[in-house]
Structure 1
Amino acid sequence: MSVGTTQARQGLGGRLAALARIVELGPGRVEPALLAESGRLLLRAGERLKLSSDHTVVALAGGTGSGKSTLFNSISGLELSPTGVRRPTTARTHACVWGLDGAGPLLDWLQIQWRHRFARASALDRGEGRLNGLILLDLPDHDSIRALTDTEADRLIQVADLVVWVLDPQKYADASTHRRYVTDLAGHEAVTIFVLNQSDRLDEDELAECVADLDGLLRREGVEHPVIVTTSAITGSGVGELTSVLAETVSERRAAVQRLEADLDRLTLRLAKAVPADGDPAPSSSLDDARRIGLTDALCDAVGVPAVGEAMENVYAARSAEWVGWPYGRWIAGLRPDPLNSLRLGDLRDEIRGLTGGSVSAQPAEVDTAVQALADGLTSGMHEAWQNGIRDAARSRVAQLPQVLSEELSEVAPRLDRVPGWWRLLLVWQYLLVVLFLAGLVWVGVALAYGVFGLGTPPEALEFFADVTSLPWVGLMMFSVLGLGALTALASRNFVVLGAGNERDALEREMRRRVGGVAESMVIEPVERELTRYNEFYSAMRSLRG
């Protein structure tokens, strides 16, 4: 095998590997019929490349009466394929082999019956050692009325390394031949030869006119550079020229690879047309931070994270008044209508838990909109099949997403009945100040009763408190207690507000973290897998184009 042939086979191997990857990644994105055809080509290519590379399979194909069997016998130099005068037809494929070594498995793969295999074993016979490695097939007539032979001709035309179309001057423009075979093999010029047989029936001018007409017809049907040889199996005219063309093809040992490459080229064009890559450049397989953050923000809005944080902050601040506020202020406020009742804050904890754990926690419509917006932003410029794939991946778990978000956030729903330890200490401190103020009132009362109004002699235990001179100091103490209580309440209130803000920030961060985790596992990861599939598919397409 020549260096050029080895390199060609290696290049073909890379393209076939790319096609295999396309078949693997294509379901749902490429038409099933096209994928099935690709699979058949892969199977055929794998089988052919494992068989003899020293043999070239050349199929003589033609309609009834074209003279291909006579031409087959003329090339082989033997009467191997039966011919006839009245409606001659070839019922079974006949094969003539130049060089039997290694040809057996290839003939078995071609399904050529043993009794129809013939060998030209002598390389010196008629000087035709130049054809060593040729397997020449005389196919059944493709327009035969026998369906069996028609099917066999179709099969072998698809697997032959080189196809020689034998046409006669009367039916060379036959519509069925061109429609079923020639048009389908456009682009296969390197492995297709057209023979205008029975040239002995025409004079020189008529023959030239037929050749020109056939050339124009083939070019119109997509065969850009048709190779046309004129022959006459009866007179032998042109048979030597055709034999030389076959000998050159056999000697190069490249027809099998060229045929598979031509089939790949045709299939590549169909694949590129079916699923074109309109997007340029290709999207990254990983979502950027902006899209991740955008999706998390949208899902946080859908689940009401800001509302939960705000409610927690408000309730936290409102409940703190029961613990760190100046008791006298609370008692006075108690004489007015309770604002907490008007705000329905008494059961807000249950409502907030409902917000993160119930059916209304994450609005399905808003969740759906957020996921759809992500998919739409990623699929701009993609082929419709891949757009649908990305959308389907993004929405693959959208039905479960609201419930999962609710369950996640219910675990971090704020405990609105939680009482920080420093609140309890402040409550003790405030009530100590209340006791001191009440003690001052008692002191003042005793001093006024016994020292000012002279109600009698105070008991020995109260003599100290009945001293009128202590009243200014007691009053100062009581005023200080009131001021200290009010100042403590004010300072505590500021700390509570600051703490509530910090608590809200911490809560929202944790909720965003959890929402982001759910979005990652249920939306982003499926989308990134589909983007990876998209990029691998078009990377394989580029490799397939070579």
Structure 2
Amino acid sequence: MSERKVTRAHTGLTEQIDAVVSAMQIAEPYLEPEVVDQAAVIIERAEARRQLSADHVVVGLFGATGSGKSSLFNALVGSEIAQTGVIRPTTTKTVAAIWQPVGADALLDWLEVSERHILSSQVLGKGSKKSQDLGGGLILLDLPDMDSTSTEHHLIASRLAGQVDYLVWVLDPQKYADASIHHGYLSELTGQRGNLLVVLNQVDTIAESDREPVKASLNALLADEGIGQVPIVLASARSGEGLDAVREKFAVALNNKVQATRRLRADVDGLLRLLDGELALPKVHTPGIMEQSELEGTIAKAHGTHRIADAVQTSYKLRASTNTGWPLTSWLTRLRNDPLKRMNLGRGIEKPEISLTSRPELSVAESAAVDQAVVKYLNTATEDLSPRWSQSFKDGIREQRTELASEIDIAIASCTLGVEKKSWWWPVTKFVQWLGVVVALAGGLWLGGIALAAYFQFNLPETPRVEGFAIPTLMVFVGVLLGIVLGIFGSFINKMVARLKRRKALKNLQNSVGGVVRRFIVDPTSHHLEQYNSYASLITSAAKKVE
């Protein structure tokens, strides 16, 4: 294999692993625990194997009780290393045959294999017609029986089935069609066809005429399990038949410089197929502006923004009447209740969070309206997601209802309503009003003085006149008329301004409440969907690189 292909294989595996790690960091809370655990095992195993010797290829012999696995192991290595016999299970611990010990210890420590036998690189095994050079780093393992009654043995075999670089499944003619073997063990190797060899052992017990039909039957069984076309070698540990073909498969694996990478890639590929198959959609979209506006508007209305805006209009007119009305009667408006003061609003508090509003609690209908708006928005946002991606998120948003209401109250308390300060024309109007009162009062006092002097028969100079009207009389009429005119005109102006204040206050209130809604609902929803899209993008792009 060329150096370029080796580099490409390692790079492809690295990219896939990085993608899976990033995806798991995003999606762990929303995936099935079994999937997360499976991903963790595969990634941890891949990272560990990549740190160990790349010059060795670990070949594991797997099989059920009675398949002759240990006898085949001994025949392949040309030495009675593995224990054989009639007592079941025969193989109780893993045995390793090593042809190149340099660099193998750390790898075998990771595999947790303690019994190790170092062999010559030139091996002339049983039935071999020529020497096979296995000095390229072969490590051959004889594993405990997969169907062992000992739980410990079964766990060891299952663990190593996920760690070895090349799997050799040993079957015997009596059990090769056993459904429990296929469904229980072989079906788990569907993604490993490129790293799997099936050896039908004890072929010497099958008549020559029956061998091809048996091999065809085994092929069909493997296809039914979804494994597909894998190499099948008919062999016999007793007679040595077919062992050269098995050794040739080992030699091919040894010459493959990325055999370990290929095995790890198969595991990662299988995980990616699973994750890609469970994707709801490759990309989801956040709700549009209309849905967001409807959400914000419904929640703002339920929290009384329209009532507050009405109160702003009423409050402004009351405050304006007090400051621009006729001074002798405007004090009466102070006796009327200011609706904003009842709600503890419009006072220009510097820190509204320490002085919340006195608005009434939301009614049952208003609370229901808020809940329905939130549910509708969240359902729209997550309708294309799987239940695990949507339900826990929606539950988390709804659990913040109390905090949402509290933050909305603070937002309303801190909102500028436009009545916190006096309008600039109020002092001017007030001054003119008082000037009119003073003029009318002065004219009245003047007329009173003239009347009093006439009563006591004092001779006074003639009262000054303008166009035939006595000045004190004009002063009374002008002062009173000025108050009336200013009052009417001021009332008209104040009503128009009050409507503008209401409109502006409503807009400010809706913006303030909308800001809280965006912070508690809209932005988290967008972030959640972005997380899903990032996860889906990682899985989709990595799945496209699956071999």
TM-score (norm 1): 0.85
Question: 1:197 corresponds to which residue?
Answer: 201
2:403 pairs with 1:400: yes
Question: 1:223 corresponds to which residue?
Answer: 227
2:121 touches 2:135 (CA, 8 Å); kept in 1? no
1:191 touches 1:258 (CA, 8 Å); kept in 2? yes
Distance 1:221 1:153 in 2: 20
2:58 touches 2:140 (CA, 8 Å); kept in 1? yes
Question: 1:127 corresponds to which residue?
Answer: 131
C-alpha RMSD of matched pairs (Å): 3.5
SS of the residue aligned with 1:353? coil
Structure 1 position 523, deviation (Å):
3.0
Question: 1:532 corresponds to which residue?
Answer: 530
- Single out whichever of 81-90 and 151-160 deviates more from structure 2: 81-90
The code of the aligned residue for 1:46 comes to E
- Change over 3 Å in CA distance of 1:523–1:396 after alignment to 2: farther
Q: Map Cα deviations across residues 238-277 of structure 1 (whole Å, 9 max, x no partner).
A: 211121122112111232222222222322233334x422
The code of the aligned residue for 1:241 comes to A
Question: 2:84 corresponds to which residue?
Answer: 83
Question: 1:240 corresponds to which residue?
Answer: 244
- Change over 3 Å in CA distance of 1:418–1:241 after alignment to 2: closer
Q: Map Cα deviations across residues 420-467 of structure 1 (whole Å, 9 max, x no partner).
A: 5643442342243244345556667788999xxx9785433xx22288
Distance 1:512 1:365 in 2: 19
Q: Map Cα deviations across residues 383-435 of structure 1 (whole Å, 9 max, x no partner).
A: 11111244245335222111222133224476979655643442342243244
Q: Map Cα deviations across residues 349-408 of structure 1 (whole Å, 9 max, x no partner).
A: 332328971363555444433433332221121111111244245335222111222133
2:317 pairs with 1:317: yes
2:442 touches 2:472 (CA, 8 Å); kept in 1? no
Question: 1:464 corresponds to which residue?
Answer: 462
SS of the residue aligned with 2:132? helix
The equivalences for 1:34-73 within 5 A come to 34-73=35-74
Question: 1:382 corresponds to which residue?
Answer: 385
- Change over 3 Å in CA distance of 1:347–1:263 after alignment to 2: same
Distance 2:498 2:272 in 1: 64
Q: Map Cα deviations across residues 267-315 of structure 1 (whole Å, 9 max, x no partner).
A: 2233334x4223x54336xx76555544432332122122212211123
1:187 touches 1:224 (CA, 8 Å); kept in 2? no
The code of the aligned residue for 1:351 comes to R
Distance 2:85 2:464 in 1: 151
The total of aligned residue pairs comes to 527
Structure 2 unaligned runs (5+)? 347-355
Q: 1:256 aligns with which of 235, 254, 260?
A: 260
The code of the aligned residue for 2:280 comes to A
Structure 1 position 172, deviation (Å):
0.6
- Single out whichever of 488-497 and 354-363 deviates more from structure 2: 354-363
2:176 pairs with 1:178: no
The code of the aligned residue for 2:387 comes to E
Question: 1:371 corresponds to which residue?
Answer: 374
Structure 1 position 185, deviation (Å):
0.9
Structure 1 position 211, deviation (Å):
1.0
2:64 touches 2:145 (CA, 8 Å); kept in 1? yes
The code of the aligned residue for 2:531 comes to R
Question: 2:340 corresponds to which residue?
Answer: 349
Q: Map Cα deviations across residues 121-166 of structure 1 (whole Å, 9 max, x no partner).
A: 4489953225622111121222334443333222222211111111
Q: 1:276 aligns with which of 274, 279, 294?
A: 279
SS of the residue aligned with 1:186? helix
2:442 touches 2:475 (CA, 8 Å); kept in 1? no
The equivalences for 1:147-158 within 5 A come to 147-158=151-162
Distance 2:345 2:429 in 1: 32
2:440 pairs with 1:432: no
Identity %: 30
1:123 touches 1:132 (CA, 8 Å); kept in 2? no
1:372 touches 1:394 (CA, 8 Å); kept in 2? no
1:458 touches 1:466 (CA, 8 Å); kept in 2? no
2:464 touches 2:471 (CA, 8 Å); kept in 1? no
2:60 touches 2:141 (CA, 8 Å); kept in 1? yes
Structure 1 position 544, deviation (Å):
3.5
- Single out whichever of 180-189 and 64-73 deviates more from structure 2: 64-73
SS of the residue aligned with 2:29? coil
SS of the residue aligned with 2:463? coil
The code of the aligned residue for 2:297 comes to D
SS of the residue aligned with 1:283? coil
Structure 1 position 220, deviation (Å):
0.8
Q: Map Cα deviations across residues 79-128 of structure 1 (whole Å, 9 max, x no partner).
A: 222333566712222222222222221122122224x4232244899532
Distance 1:467 1:258 in 2: 118
Distance 1:445 1:146 in 2: 124
Structure 1 position 541, deviation (Å):
1.5
- Change over 3 Å in CA distance of 1:3–1:133 after alignment to 2: farther
2:89 touches 2:148 (CA, 8 Å); kept in 1? no
Structure 1 unaligned runs (5+)? none
Distance 1:53 1:468 in 2: 119
Distance 2:146 2:422 in 1: 93
Q: Map Cα deviations across residues 500-530 of structure 1 (whole Å, 9 max, x no partner).
A: 2343344334433432333343334433432
1:352 touches 1:413 (CA, 8 Å); kept in 2? no
The code of the aligned residue for 1:282 comes to V
1:97 touches 1:136 (CA, 8 Å); kept in 2? yes
TM-score (norm 2): 0.85
The code of the aligned residue for 1:325 comes to G
Distance 1:409 1:165 in 2: 72
1:296 touches 1:515 (CA, 8 Å); kept in 2? yes
